[in-house]
Structure 1
Amino acid sequence: MAPKILFVLTSHSALGNSGQKTGWFLPELSHPVAELEGKAEIVVASPLGGEAPLDPKSAELFKDDPASIRLLNDLSHLYKNTSKLEEWLGKEDEFAGIFYVGGHGPMFDLATDETSISLIKSFYHANKLISAVCHGPAAFVNVKLNDGTYLVEGKQLTAFSDDEEVDFGTAPYMPFKLESALKEHGAKFTAAKELYGEKVVIDGKFITGENPASAGAVGRAIAEAL
């Protein structure tokens, strides 16, 4: 039987007070799904369940990307029919790991979602894979372990950098700076030498990717870890 991975999508669709729509970022779901096809059973959840909002900008940017086209045309059930996160509380033994898809949405809901925080904590203490890409690591910022320390303290990791946020034009609308918040809670943060360059960091069973360009490599790292 293939190992199960719990994929988590945001339920948040508004980009701060910008008047723009946001959500999860298309290649950050489509590329890991493509890499894990046939190697893992993917279960998708979100805080509210139901259809998780796709960032329309990402759909436009990746309209010619084969993996993204396939997700939208053939695998849309993965994000249109998500289960509620709370359904998986206490069921970490069913899974090999948990993966947080990025997009700006997680900055607004998953960073402070108590159910998500509890899930990550239980997966970590059960020695499962913990992984995320781009803004997905926002879900890790406020997680504290049983001993009271922050999950990210001392961890080698990456995420969408503060410089990338500024360059992308979204910094003014974010509730906090992701890179800065991770560092404040003790993370050992590294980023690619160039903006939007591929970067994946593996620290034991902790796997993170910096940005959309890193999504496929994160999927491969998860597949190898399985």
Structure 2
Amino acid sequence: MSKGQVLVLGSNATQLGLRGGGTATVGQYLNETAVPALALLDAGYDIVLATPNGAKPHIDAASVSVDHFGGDETAFQRAKYFFASHPAMNDVRTLKSVVDEGLDGFAGVFVPGGHAPIVDLMVDRDAGTILRHFHAAAKPTALLCHGPVVVVAALEDASAFRKALEEGDDAWAADLARDWIYAGYRMTVFSASEEKIAEEQVLKGELYFDMEKALRSAGGNVSVTDKNFASNVVVDRELITGQNPASDRAMADALIEALDRAAA
């Protein structure tokens, strides 16, 4: 018997604009999607995947590597098979349909990382509605790597906030972030120093803003590890954030613990 349903917010983005022109091909990270999802299923929870347009998310080619699974070939192959074949990864809903049908039946929500969420989920109005619901109900809300930047979708005008970040207008960003529901929350996200490495080695270009600054500009109390790509999870009230790909299992464990505690 299922312990409950967890809503997974996926991205449909495949191209990310870079400073100075050009784009990088992006998607969700395989391990950041599959490791927490499999952990939830193994713990007795069902998952429902929803995206802005209802299409299955694209997996970033940079993440399709055994290196993101600690060199464990069995875990790597299980993740690939899961994402390709499991009904939960293929019966994809639209965010709007999930909102319209009601969110009360979900025990928690999870947002995987990869650069893709910066493009669509960060400014998606339905994602904002979902986050505000889980915040108001104090239900576990977990986000991983670049996923935590999606919490700005809960702002009244997230699109304008992102534009302010892109233009480097700190005063405008601060004004748009007034009354943000996560103001003062402790949280983590893919660090600025980790992003520099990703820009050089993966994206081959510079982003318009880094995720640390985005969340601090909104009012988040952001902390990151001194060591790049070391696992780091921060829990504050209902919000659970993981810093980077290496935080996949630790973030999943924290989410499952919070879900079990809420159910009890």
Q: TM-score, normalised by structure 2?
A: 0.78
- Return the match for 1:28 from 28, 32, 56: 32
| Equivalent residue, structure 2, for 1:97 | 108
* Residue correspondence of structure 1 range 59-138 to structure 2 within 5 A: 59-60=64-65, 61-62=67-68, 65=72, 66-76=74-84, 77=86, 78-89=88-99, 91-138=102-149
* Residue correspondence of structure 1 range 19-58 to structure 2 within 5 A: 19-39=23-43, 40-58=45-63
- Tell whether 2:224 aligns with 1:224: no
Larger CA Rg, structure 1 vs 2: 2
| Equivalent residue, structure 2, for 1:15 | 16
Q: Larger deviation: 169-178 or 38-47?
A: 169-178
2: CA distance, partners of 1:173 / 1:108: 15
- Give the superposition deviation at 1:175: 4.2
Whether the aligned pair in 1 keeps the contact of 2:12 and 2:57 (CA below 8 Å) is yes
| Equivalent residue, structure 2, for 1:157 | 187
- Tell whether 2:144 aligns with 1:143: no
Q: Per-residue CA shift, 1:25-44, capped at 9, x if unaligned?
A: 11101211232223211111
Paired AA for residue 135 in structure 1: H
Q: Larger deviation: 70-79 or 29-38?
A: 70-79
Paired AA for residue 25 in structure 2: K
Please tell me the root mean square deviation across aligned C-alpha atoms, in Å.
2.0
| Residues 141 and 172 (structure 1), Cα distance of their counterparts in 2 relative to 1, 3 Å cut | farther
Paired AA for residue 237 in structure 2: G
Q: Aligned with 2:121: secondary structure?
A: coil
- Give the superposition deviation at 1:81: 3.7
- Give the superposition deviation at 1:138: 1.6
1: CA distance, partners of 2:105 / 2:26: 31
2: CA distance, partners of 1:105 / 1:22: 6
- Give the superposition deviation at 1:67: 3.1
1: CA distance, partners of 2:24 / 2:204: 13
Q: TM-score, normalised by structure 1?
A: 0.91
Q: Name stretches of at least 5 consecutive residues in structure 1 with no aligned partner.
A: none
Paired AA for residue 15 in structure 1: L
- Return the match for 2:248 from 206, 215, 218: 215
**How many percent of aligned residue pairs carry the same amino acid?**
29
- Give the superposition deviation at 1:174: 2.8
- Give the superposition deviation at 1:68: 3.5
Q: Which has the higher helix share?
A: 2
Q: Aligned with 1:92: secondary structure?
A: coil
Whether the aligned pair in 1 keeps the contact of 2:188 and 2:223 (CA below 8 Å) is yes
| Residues 191 and 151 (structure 1), Cα distance of their counterparts in 2 relative to 1, 3 Å cut | same
1: CA distance, partners of 2:114 / 2:183: 23
